Amino acid sequence: MTTIPVLVAGSAGQMGRQLVRALAGEDDLRLVAAVDKVSVGEDAGVVAGCQPAGVSVSDDLAAAIDTTSPNVGVVFTSPPAGMPAVRTLLSHRVAAVVGTTGFSAAEFDEIDTLCREHDTPALVASNFAIGAVLMMRFAAEAAPHFGQVEIIELHHDRKADAPSGTALRTAQAITKATPAGSAPAGPEGAPSRGLPQGRVHIHSVRLPGLVAHQEVILGALGQTLTIRHDSLSRESFMPGVLLAIRRVRGLSGLTREIDSLL
């Protein structure tokens, strides 16, 4: 069986370690390189709490690509390191699967340009959990039938960005699906009314004990509809990440979210 050689950037983080464990159970995927700025020189499998992977954590992404020739690079670094990692992968013509959140619109434009320049695909997903993808899809479908929509996103207290990438993507999808006239309810500008994003207000909660959760609450005369998704552990993201690794090389340019892969 041919295997896909995979590099993981951010391999010592929560998501990176989960992915290293997940890769160990897949016959057609093979971890060839692990990159992080901590646990450098240690075995990536041991860092992830599983069997030794025979791959030492490196802090030099470009050198790791040159020495191991991965087909796919997965990025789960903390947000500030995300864009530099994507630039390095694409400029080395390594297909990128990107889970790091917090990219600006200008950075998405840059990724799109890099994909074309280097003829290499990238898939950037704000949420790899299949249930979260469906939550976004259902919210966009329901939104035109309701006058107002608000999002409450709840995450662990170490999350670096707010609002979450998932909440921003959901707000974009809802705004695109709703008539131009509908607007968030007032009073506008009151600090406790959340962040207006398009035609939606987003409220961010950060607490220990949480993983990744989101409620989309839709309101109309005399009724509300609540669509809620809960990632109860980081395992919830792995089927989506593995799917993206297997499929990304068949895509072209920049693909946002795994919706089109389902």
Catalytic residue annotation: 155, 159
* 47 contact partners, CB below 8 Å, separation of at least 6: 11, 12, 17, 20, 34, 39, 57
Residue whose Cβ sits closest to ligand NAD: 13
Interface stretch with ligand NAD, choices 29-37, 64-72, 179-187, 202-210 (CB under 6 A): 29-37
What is d(CA 151, CA 132) in angstroms, rounded to the nearest whole number?
Answer: 13
Interface stretch with ligand NAD, choices 76-84, 109-117, 139-147, 190-198 (CB under 6 A): 76-84
Establish if 36 lies at the interface with ligand NAD (CB under 6 A).
yes
What is d(CA 207, CA 164) in angstroms, rounded to the nearest whole number?
Answer: 14
Measured CA to CA in angstroms, residue 98 lies from 52, 77, 111, 187, 249 at distances of: 25, 9, 11, 37, 13
Site for ligand NAD in 219-238 (CB under 6 A): 237
Establish if 103 lies at the interface with ligand NAD (CB under 6 A).
no
User: Sheet containing 57-58: which strands, arranged edge to edge?
Assistant: 57-58, 29-35, 4-9, 72-75, 95-98, 122-124, 254-256
Establish if 14 lies at the interface with ligand NAD (CB under 6 A).
yes
**Judged by CB under 6 A, which of 3, 25, 28, 37 binds ligand NAD?**
37
Establish if 12 lies at the interface with ligand NAD (CB under 6 A).
yes
Establish if 96 lies at the interface with ligand NAD (CB under 6 A).
no
Interface contacts to ligand NAD, rule CB under 6 A: 9-10, 12-16, 35-38, 76-79, 81, 99-102, 125-128, 159, 237
